[in-house]
Structure 1
Amino acid sequence: MKAFVLEDGKQNIKEMDNPIAGEGQVVVSLRAAGLNRRDLYIPNRRGDNKKALILGSDGSGVVESIGERVTNFKVGDEVIINPALRWYETTDAPPKQFDILGMPDHGTFAEKIVISEEQLEPKPDYLSWEEAGVLALSALTGYRALVTKGQIKKEDTVFIPGAGSGVATYLIQFAKNIGAKVIVTSRSKEKQENAKKLGADIVLDTNSDWNQQLADETIDLVIDSVGGSTFNRSLEVVKKGGRIVTFGSTTEDDIQFNLRKFFYGQYQLFGSTMGSRQELREVLEHMEKYKMHPVVDRSFSLYEAQDALDYLNEGNQFGKIALKISQ
């Protein structure tokens, strides 16, 4: 089978052995896969391992074969891949055995994947292959940050710095479906307009004075995935006693803030990452209820995987980037 791999520090299309389903495993013929920023970081995080690794965490496809003792899926079923490995029930933090698909396990940038049936969910019928293929990682990350950790409620106001990321496009839709008011920021005029179309109530230029612009707003919750360049600015606008959830850092990791001001303001700070299978199933129920669609900015073929990663690295997309593998 064809796969896009990282091998000896280089990324390229390679012919790999067809996977075989073992006990409790399923081989999925992939129709689409989704890119995530972690795919950009893996080459620098893998160390000296030179063995070919298939990249990719998200995917959708059709069950091609099943191993012994597989009970929940049959050949021909349409499925999505859950990239949060071995995290089944919702807990305060991931279990020790938790990993994310795509390193060290082979990922989804390939024609086929073998994976435990525990990591599969039925594909929502109303979604295209590309929509289903970009769904799990970002939607799950956003849902846990917003709902499980952020405890968002109807009529809350949520502030989301950075409107164009894949997770942000899910956050906007989840929050609006729940009945919250949504405020986002972006430096890009195009992304600002796209965020409005998606449902954001207020859209700010990232470089504007947030304190001045939001003087008449009461921010209950901040969901921050940007990091050092926005954290303190977000802390300035959230209400006293308000909640901040952080799940990413696209700028510097190290942050200094006024600890005395923080504890006098009784702020609540939560870290979050990915989510459990239980939460992913809640995501799918929510999306089905509201017939919610992932935002796919652009699709590439598997053979254009490097071009897709380069496009992701530029940061100009609004929403998710998909790989079309077969239809």
Structure 2
Amino acid sequence: MKAAILKQLDSPLVLESGDDLIASDHEVVVQLNAAALNRRDFWISQGMYPGIQLPSILGSDGAGVVSKTNDSPSASWLGREVIINPGWNWGDNPAAQSEAFKILGMPVNGTFATHVQVPAKYLHEKPSHLSFVEAAALPLAGMTAYRALFTQGRLQPGEKVLISGIGGGVATFALQFACAAGAEVIVTSSSSEKIEKAIRYGAKHGYDYNATDWVGEANTQFGPVNLIIDSAGGAGYRGLLDLAAPGGRIVNYGATAGPPPKLDLFKVFWKQLHLIGSTMGSPDDFAAMLQFVNEHKIKPIIDETLPLAAVNEAIEKMRRSTQFGKITLDCRD
């Protein structure tokens, strides 16, 4: 097999050949056709993630064909086209992950490789309407978006939704899923190009979050929103409180801009707002996300597909945040 290995923090990944993987009990080996990047991979490479263990093969998302099994329970997967649920050991509580929860791709070797070894219970059939590249783009970001919108955000048809910072994988999936569910969606970005692309994919309007009064403009043009999906936090969080409708929900799946410098609790309680945290998802969330994708024939938005050997170029692109949709890798040897 070949794999792109992170050996030192803030250093390029190294593509190396290694021994063929062996399927242990209740596990399989998947020969990967494609993988996808997530912001998590970039944070790990920069040393900005808890519990980093090196050397490690990054990558949480992958799609391919099961090439090896080891026991009768997993034998039925042999030769089948699959995608992998990257969230392991969620636990019995659907409301939150257990302390044993972990994500494929550090410390468990991940999908920036030609092959990956995974427990059979985390396999799912690849949606038939998706290519391997499209399927590889789906798992982590798709599950995160689905849980934020539906499990935590309780989105209903006809509601108004704001998705902040459009462009990344979770945000673009949230746009696609919300539109498919019958919501009216607006987005924010500092890039007019990304806003224009979001409108082509179903957004009603987009706003530059660096503009002085984008919240007032959005309120006038679109009205207060029922559900806000945000990954930034930071100083802009105050505007989200202003834009939220009475009884509205704000779901955060990240805080890339840090904590809000001031949280106006008067607005929170007077407007009866619900501030909700969300991350990744349970096995039930993953299965429901796949069912939703199959039902609506949703195809992930792919920004670019690069060969596995160009993984460092892909990580650099994620550093610059210029992508709209998912950055994917062709893992075929």
Same fold (TM over 0.5): yes
Matched with 1:157 is 160
19-28 vs 262-271, greater mean Cα deviation: 262-271
- Please, what is the CA RMSD of the aligned residues? 1.8
Matched with 1:242 is 248
Q: Deviations over 1:169-189 (max 9, x none)?
A: 111111111111101011212
Matched residue type, 1:211: V
Matched with 1:6 is 6
TM-score, length basis structure 1: 0.95
Q: 1:211 to 1:278 in 2, by over 3 A?
A: same
Q: 1:96 to 1:176 in 2, by over 3 A?
A: same
Matched with 1:110 is 113
* In 2: Cα distance, 1:214 partner to 1:259 partner: 22
Q: 1:46 to 1:285 in 2, by over 3 A?
A: closer
* In 2: Cα distance, 1:50 partner to 1:72 partner: 32
* In 1: Cα distance, 2:76 partner to 2:250 partner: 39
Cα contact 2:190–2:208 (8 A) shared by 1: yes
TM-superposed deviation, 1:45: 4.4
Alignment of 1:270 with 2:279, yes or no, is no
1:74 to 73, 77, 81: 77
TM-superposed deviation, 1:47: 7.9
Cα contact 1:23–1:69 (8 A) shared by 2: no
Matched residue type, 1:18: D
1:126 to 126, 129, 133: 129
Cα contact 2:236–2:260 (8 A) shared by 1: no
TM-superposed deviation, 1:103: 1.4
For these two proteins, the number of residue pairs brought into alignment is 327
Q: 1:193 to 1:45 in 2, by over 3 A?
A: closer
Q: Deviations over 1:38-82 (max 9, x none)?
A: 001113046897742101100000000101143474321000011
1:226 to 213, 222, 232: 232
Aligned positions of 1:1-327 closer than 5 A: 1-9=1-9, 10=11, 11-43=13-45, 44-45=47-48, 51-71=54-74, 73-87=76-90, 91-208=94-211, 209-216=213-220, 217-253=223-259, 255-326=261-332
Cα contact 2:36–2:326 (8 A) shared by 1: yes
* In 2: Cα distance, 1:50 partner to 1:87 partner: 21
Any stretches of 5+ residues in structure 2 without a counterpart? none
TM-superposed deviation, 1:253: 3.4
111-120 vs 213-222, greater mean Cα deviation: 213-222
* In 1: Cα distance, 2:75 partner to 2:183 partner: 36
Any stretches of 5+ residues in structure 1 without a counterpart? none
Q: 1:309 to 1:146 in 2, by over 3 A?
A: same
Q: 1:51 to 1:186 in 2, by over 3 A?
A: closer
Q: 1:258 to 1:111 in 2, by over 3 A?
A: same
* In 2: Cα distance, 1:17 partner to 1:33 partner: 20
Cα contact 1:63–1:75 (8 A) shared by 2: yes
Could you say what secondary structure the match of 1:223 adopts? strand
